[in-house]
């Protein structure tokens, strides 16, 4: 007994089987996670090391090179970028896609610990972060209170930060703004010379007097008591009263050598929210964490903090989860709209509720049953899986429409309903299986791609596969069973003005189609030539640049980021003035809800503003119009520094990776060991790139201009004065930036927190060259001055040094306008080879162009493989090697409409539209398959090829037209959507709509011509 006969004879049984899947699907629905994009494995980790007082070159030589050597042996290592800055080193490590992010981070941690002994003693402990340091925070929180900024900062750094880091998925919380407290020991330079003391001796003495040691345990008959030595400082006054041993053994009071006071450290960080002083908390997630779940966990921690600390205000300024949830709600609404429009079309063409119900039952049952498989496969509700469901609404009723139409045709021949249902389904069964399996095999190449594109679209493709396979099951079971039950008294002929109009319209369409088909078969060469011209013209829109190309579509995500960069060496106060100016302007923009500003991240010459806008549907201007207005204000009113304005793009997978604008359109790595030669090469490369047509804003990453004093020791004079390098180090090390000499534990003036004790020369942060020369150095024969044994030169040093894969690198960047990106890159490469960069310099292309090329190449391979799989499948089903080739003409016919609709709707070729072309390959195959299947059936019954094509075209016109129309109207809400997140899926929807329209029209004409030509050969 076949499954259709079982369903007709056992209606209750098959209904319960379907309900089983539905119930399990509903159960699974409430257990599926929610996120904006599918979780994909993009294994990153970073190592950050602080090295107080170190120059850029010292950081490179003493910290970065040993770490690079150790980490380079890590398994699955793909790329390593090291950024050396003053007092800080950051290594960004990228692994292959098949690496486990957790294990990779553990391996890096072990390798760093192994080389820790080779690193300088003065560095801070290396910090391993399981995130890309260039990634933007998923949440930004402002903290305000009546207390001082130092108190708020202390509470935020010691309490709030740790509590938020408890939330699952949080990798790091960065505290911004505020003030640090310190116990400042400002040593008089002339007193050091007078008493022949080195600064290091004062540091050691302060440390040695600040201890707490256990001495053991004393036991009595009934008790045991701890014995410990407590000699910790309680107040700055105690530090002031200690004595320092002089070179002759005499004791010198510290008060005679230095001023000791507790105070706020020099302001290097600023933070404001909506114009008011605040402390900022930036929340970062793990590379594989779910944004929605992470934000939910952070909000729970915030609720607890609000209860425990009512005197503090916690204001959520930016939150990526809001955009995600709104986008998913809008996608779900689009899904419902698609179902409704599809139902309306079916009602009009199927003439009543019985036929509509028999077909529409496939949509909810297939979608709900898909939830079960999604849950079992570990999928989530995200933009991709929901978009798959939205786009497959029309697909889900295709099989049911075809089966229902054929059953009705058999019933009109006078057959009993049960017999008509079984025979009608059996006759169309091969075609239904073929068109469904075509959809399935199209997505198999995507499902098994391991790169970022494959991971990104896997849930999209497999969701469609799951739903489509279940819709095939429904068309073989519920649809014939319902048709046999609902039409047990025959197929009613509805009457009325609307139904009479629809009947006349269908008859007229069939008549006109027959006339057109007969003319086309008689003028096959003319038709083929015309279609070929259209195809060439449509494809020619791409190289002509009329249809643009990009990596991902732009999205309006209700957020703006503004970066401020001042001239190198600028103070934080100077930067703050420009940031405050930008903040005041931004707060006058009516669409702005919050504005959070920072100064001091990455250096005193850098600032940033995070701007949150009202939702897209509540404002008249787009985010691009608002940012353009801000740029206009910058051009007119900001004269100091460089200000860049850009839109938030959290929904674009892979954009925020690499650490150094990795996804700019043009990005080139220049490699050379000699920094001077590399600088010359960068300047020349910038000049050459600027001459290439289409290149705009060519620039390089190297910046020189940090004012510095460079000391070069004179070893001959050191010998004369009996001075060792260790003597200079004792006197000079930390003299200006300060050396930490322990902490004031549990400081009551610092909210009960530990306060650092910093020893430095008095007024050292304002020293000039003469002051540095006058720093006393204790030598074997007495006291000399630093200027006696070292030469001091004033100059500039590099802001930073970038290294890629253990090689010194300068990164070239540029935008592209007016020309295809591929042509621009080709011209740059040609120019570099002809004009020759300095000897020893090599270069490598990277950036968005590489990412786009890789994505396009992967999708191109997937498309070719899917075509091959479809051909193999149809060859098996039809036992013919040539019939599937005829069906392959559907794809180029569909490309005509796809490219034309991209042009008309002002969309671009991007990863989404390319995936749409891949999906279209499966969808447009349905029409050709239905037509050829019935043509071969009629030929088996004795008709010649010409008559069989005419009859098959007339018979299959309605189901072909209906299936196409239901798919088109099912995707129209997606294509026309203007809500949040719609930009991502619009181009894909228009590709499918355009492809279906032209493919349907031309398939009904061109494929019969090719088939007849083949049969008449």
What's 879's DSSP letter? T
Instruction: Inform me whether the pLDDT recorded for 435 exceeds 70.
Output: yes
pLDDT grade for 797, boundaries at 50, 70 and 90 = low
Instruction: Inform me whether the pLDDT recorded for 584 exceeds 80.
Output: yes
Most confident region among 25-39, 342-356, 773-787 by mean pLDDT: 25-39
- Higher pLDDT residue, 530 or 858? 530
Comparing 161-175, 728-742, 861-875, 987-1001, which segment has the lowest mean pLDDT? 728-742
**Contact call for residues 514 and 946 (beta carbons, < 8 A):** no
Mean pLDDT throughout 984-989? 82
3-state SS, residue 889: coil
Cα separation of 233 and 211, whole Å? 8
pLDDT grade for 659, boundaries at 50, 70 and 90 = very low
pLDDT of 656: 37
pLDDT of 919: 79
Mean residue pLDDT across the chain: 82
pLDDT of 704: 62
Alpha helices, H only, 3-148: 3-9, 11-29, 56-59, 65-71, 101-115
Q: How far are the Cα atoms of 159, 165, 328, 534, 1014 from residue 299, in angstroms, in the given order?
A: 16, 12, 20, 56, 67
In this structure, the number of other CB atoms found within 10 A of the CB of residue 951 comes to 16
pLDDT of 837: 87
Instruction: Inform me whether the pLDDT recorded for 658 exceeds 70.
Output: no
Instruction: Inform me whether the pLDDT recorded for 956 exceeds 60.
Output: yes
Q: How many residues does the chain have?
A: 1017
Mean pLDDT throughout 79-88? 86
- Higher pLDDT residue, 296 or 768? 296
pLDDT tens sequence across 893-909: 888 999 999 998 888 88
Cα separation of 721 and 472, whole Å? 94
DSSP state letters, 165-213: HTSTTEEEEEEESS--EEEEEEE-HHHHHHHT--HHHHHHHHHHTSEEE
Comparing 288-292, 455-459, 883-887, which segment has the lowest mean pLDDT? 288-292
Cα separation of 926 and 932, whole Å? 10
- Higher pLDDT residue, 626 or 422? 626
pLDDT tens sequence across 229-286: 677 888 888 888 888 888 777 888 888 888 888 887 777 788 888 888 888 898 988 7
Helices 911-940, 982-1016: crossing angle, 10 deg rounding: 30
pLDDT of 479: 84
Instruction: Inform me whether the pLDDT recorded for 1006 exceeds 60.
Output: yes
Alpha helices, H only, 661-700: 675-691
Instruction: Inform me whether the pLDDT recorded for 655 exceeds 60.
Output: no
Radius of gyration (Cα) for the chain, nearest Å? 36
Mean pLDDT throughout 375-396? 82
> How remote is the C-alpha of 230 from its chain's centroid?
53
Instruction: Inform me whether the pLDDT recorded for 473 exceeds 80.
Output: yes
Mean pLDDT throughout 663-687? 85
Mean pLDDT throughout 737-760? 78
pLDDT grade for 371, boundaries at 50, 70 and 90 = very high
pLDDT of 19: 93
pLDDT of 213: 66
Q: What percent of the chain has pLDDT over 90?
A: 12
CA angle 844, 658, 543 (to 5 degrees): 55
pLDDT tens sequence across 474-522: 888 888 888 888 877 776 677 778 778 888 888 888 899 899 999 998 8
Cα separation of 351 and 356, whole Å? 8
- Higher pLDDT residue, 62 or 696? 62
pLDDT of 589: 93
Q: How far are the Cα atoms of 143, 470, 572 from residue 151, in angstroms, in the given order?
A: 12, 61, 21
Instruction: Inform me whether the pLDDT recorded for 299 exceeds 90.
Output: yes
Helices 848-878, 911-940: crossing angle, 10 deg rounding: 10
pLDDT of 529: 93
Instruction: Inform me whether the pLDDT recorded for 1011 exceeds 80.
Output: yes
**Residue 886 host element (H or E):** helix 883-887
Structure tokens at 653: 């997978």
What's 618's DSSP letter? G
pLDDT tens sequence across 692-740: 887 876 778 877 666 667 777 778 888 877 777 777 776 666 666 677 8
pLDDT of 733: 61
pLDDT of 693: 85
**Residue 672 host element (H or E):** none
Q: Which pTM was predicted?
A: 0.69
Structural domains present in the chain: 1-31+351-494 (1.20.1640.10), 43-131 (3.30.70.1430), 181-213+227-265+706-797 (3.30.2090.10), 496-546+880-1016 (1.20.1640.10), 557-648 (3.30.70.1430)
Cα separation of 955 and 159, whole Å? 74
pLDDT grade for 657, boundaries at 50, 70 and 90 = very low
Instruction: Inform me whether the pLDDT recorded for 661 exceeds 50.
Output: no
pLDDT of 330: 76
pLDDT grade for 660, boundaries at 50, 70 and 90 = very low
């Amino acid at each position: 007994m076949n499954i259709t006969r079982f369903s007709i004879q056992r209606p209750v049984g098959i209904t319960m089987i379907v309900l089983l899947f539905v119930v399990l699907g509903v159960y699974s629905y409430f257990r599926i996670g929610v996120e904006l994009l599918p979780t994909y494995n993009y294994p990153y980790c970073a190592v950050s090391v602080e090295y107080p007082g170190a120059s850029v070159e010292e950081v490179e030589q003493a910290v970065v090179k040993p770490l690079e050597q150790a980490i380079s042996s890590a398994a699955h290592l793909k790329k390593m970028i090291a950024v050396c800055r003053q007092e800080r080193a950051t290594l960004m490590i990228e692994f292959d896609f098949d690496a486990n992010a957790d294990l990779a981070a553990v391996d890096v941690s072990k390798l760093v610990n192994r080389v820790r002994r080779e690193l300088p003693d003065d560095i801070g402990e290396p910090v391993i972060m399981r995130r890309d340091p260039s990634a933007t925070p998923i949440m930004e929180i402002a903290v305000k209170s009546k207390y001082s900024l130092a108190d708020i900062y202390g509470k935020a750094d010691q309490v709030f930060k740790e509590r938020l880091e408890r939330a699952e998925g949080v990798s790091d919380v960065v505290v911004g703004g505020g003030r640090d407290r310190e116990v400042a020991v400002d040593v008089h330079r002339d007193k050091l010379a007078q008493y022949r003391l080195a600064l290091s001796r004062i540091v050691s003495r302060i440390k040695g007097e600040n201890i707490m040691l256990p001495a053991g345990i004393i036991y009595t008959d009934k008790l045991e008591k701890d014995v410990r030595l407590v000699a910790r400082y309680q107040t700055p006054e105690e530090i002031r009263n200690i004595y320092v041993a002089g070179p002759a053994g005499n004791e010198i009071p510290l008060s005679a050598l230095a001023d000791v006071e507790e105070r706020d450290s020099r302001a290097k960080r600023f933070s404001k929210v909506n114009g008011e002083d605040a402390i900022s908390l930036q929340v970062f997630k793990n590379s594989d964490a779910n944004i929605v779940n992470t934000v939910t966990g952070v909000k729970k921690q915030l609720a607890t903090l609000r209860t425990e600390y009512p005197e503090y205000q916690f204001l959520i300024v930016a939150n990526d989860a809001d955009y995600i949830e709104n986008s998913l709600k809008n996608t779900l609404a689009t899904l419902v709209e698609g179902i409704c429009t599809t139902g309306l079309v079916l009602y009009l063409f199927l003439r009543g509720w019985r036929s509509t119900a028999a077909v529409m039952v496939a949509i909810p049952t297939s979608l709900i049953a898909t939830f079960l498989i999604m849950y079992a496969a570990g999928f989530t509700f995200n933009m991709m899986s929901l978009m798959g469901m939205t786009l497959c609404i029309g697909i889900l009723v295709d099989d049911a429409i075809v089966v229902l139409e054929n059953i009705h045709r058999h019933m009109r021949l006078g057959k009993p309903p049960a017999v008509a249902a079984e025979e009608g389904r059996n006759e169309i069964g091969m075609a239904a299986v073929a068109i469904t399996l075509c959809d399935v095999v199209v997505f198999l190449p995507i499902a098994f791609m391991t790169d970022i594109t494959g991971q990104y679209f896997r849930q999209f493709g497999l969701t469609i596969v799951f739903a489509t396979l279940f819709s095939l099951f429904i068309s073989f079971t519920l649809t014939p069973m319902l048709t046999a039950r609902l039409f047990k008294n025959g197929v009613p002929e509805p009457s009325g003005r609307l139904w009479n109009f629809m009947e006349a319209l269908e008859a007229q369409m069939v008549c006109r189609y027959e006339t057109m088909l007969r003319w086309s078969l008689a003028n096959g060469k003319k038709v083929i030539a015309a279609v070929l011209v259209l195809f060439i013209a449509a494809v020619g829109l791409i190289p002509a640049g009329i249809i643009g190309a990009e990596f991902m579509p732009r999205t309006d995500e209700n957020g703006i980021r503004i970066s401020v960069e001042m001239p190198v060496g600028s103070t934080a106060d100077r930067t703050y003035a420009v940031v405050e100016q930008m903040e005041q302007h931004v707060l006058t923009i009516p669409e702005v809800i919050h504005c959070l500003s920072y100064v001091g991240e990455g250096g005193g010459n850098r600032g940033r503003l995070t701007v949150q806008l009202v939702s897209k549907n509540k404002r008249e201007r787009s985010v691009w119009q608002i940012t353009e207005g801000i740029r206009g204000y910058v051009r007119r009113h900001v004269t100091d520094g460089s200000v860049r304005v850009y839109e938030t793009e959290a929904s674009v997978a892979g954009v925020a990776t690499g650490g150094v604008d990795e996804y700019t359109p043009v990005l080139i790595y220049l490699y050379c060991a000699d920094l001077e030669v590399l600088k010359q090469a960068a300047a020349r490369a910038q000049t050459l790139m600027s001459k290439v047509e289409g290149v705009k804003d060519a620039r390089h990453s190297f910046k020189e201009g940090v004012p510095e004093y460079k000391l070069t020791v004179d070893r001959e004079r050191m010998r004369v004065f009996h001075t060792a390098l260790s003597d200079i180090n004792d006197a000079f090390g930390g003299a200006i930036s300060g050396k930490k000499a322990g902490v004031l534990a549990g400081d009551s003036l610092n909210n009960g927190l530990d306060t650092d004790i910093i020893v430095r020369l008095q007024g050292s942060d304002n020293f000039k060259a003469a002051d540095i020369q006058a720093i006393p150095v204790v030598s074997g024969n007495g006291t000399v001055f630093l200027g006696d044994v070292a030469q001091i030169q004033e100059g500039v040093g590099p802001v930073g040094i970038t290294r890629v894969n253990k090689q010194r690198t300068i990164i070239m960047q540029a935008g592209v306008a007016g020309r295809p990106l591929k042509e621009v890159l080709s011209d740059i490469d040609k120019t570099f080879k002809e004009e020759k960069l300095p000897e020893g310099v090599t270069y490598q292309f990277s950036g968005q162009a590489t990412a786009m090329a890789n994505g396009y190449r992967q999708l191109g391979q997937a498309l070719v493989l899917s075509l091959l799989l479809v051909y193999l499948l149809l060859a098996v089903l039809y036992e013919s090697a040539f019939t599937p080739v005829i069906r392959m003409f559907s794809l180029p016919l569909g490309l005509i409409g796809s490219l034309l609709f991209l042009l008309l709707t002002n969309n671009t070729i991007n990863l989404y539209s390319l995936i749409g072309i891949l999906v279209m390959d499966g969808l447009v195959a349905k029409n050709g398959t239905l037509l050829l299947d019935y043509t071969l059936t009629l030929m088996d019954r004795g008709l010649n090829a010409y008559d069989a094509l005419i009859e098959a075209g007339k018979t299959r016109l309605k189901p072909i037209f209906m299936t196409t129309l239901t798919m088109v109207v099912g995707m129209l809400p997606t294509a026309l959507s203007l809500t949040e997140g719609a930009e991502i899926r619009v181009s894909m929807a228009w590709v499918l709509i355009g492809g279906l329209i032209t493919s349907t029209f031309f398939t009904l004409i061109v494929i019969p011509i090719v088939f007849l030509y083949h049969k008449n050969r």
